[in-house]
Structure 1
Amino acid sequence: MIGKFFHLPNHRRFNIPYRYFNPEKEEMEERESRIKKEMGIHEKKESDENYRPNIRGQFRRSMGDSSKTASDARKSSNTRLIMLIVILSLAVYLFFKF
């Protein structure tokens, strides 16, 4: 137990593997794409250049929380707060009256 009291943890190591860049392969792919373009051969690309992800509000929609339920929650919270204040003030009034 006493040994754990003065124990200092070791630092965590951060290691990122290097990425290999081959300029010859890049040049060859560029040449192939240019030749295919000149010959009129079109490859179907998997990704669309005009694709733009629509992620705004996706978390709220997936969790089932809409603005209507949030406003209902605020209203119920406010009414609970008002009722609590009324009950406490009534209790304090009755305490000091008797």
Structure 2
Amino acid sequence: MAGADSPELQFPAPWRYRVVVEAGNPASPALLRAVLDRYGIAAPLQEARCSGGGKYRSYHIDVLFESRAMMEALSRDLQAVDGVRFLL
């Protein structure tokens, strides 16, 4: 629930995900791309950075959500991808 100082999201809403995956799982980018394709999202999976120890790699994904339901469903499906540690 949004607090008094938190504005309610208005849809369509642009959103930038940061997805942190285990660097040792080379299939993660292809699996993330497959999820995006299922939703008809053509935005590129932008490689962002690797952790200092090389254990994690992060990607950015820019999305325009048409509804909260779509946002919640895509978030759930991205989080379920093998190798995903964090979804921000």
TM class by shorter chain equals under 0.3
- Compare the two structures and name the one with the higher strand fraction: 2
Q: Decide which structure has the larger Cα Rg and report it.
A: 1
TM-score, length of structure 1 as denominator length? 0.17
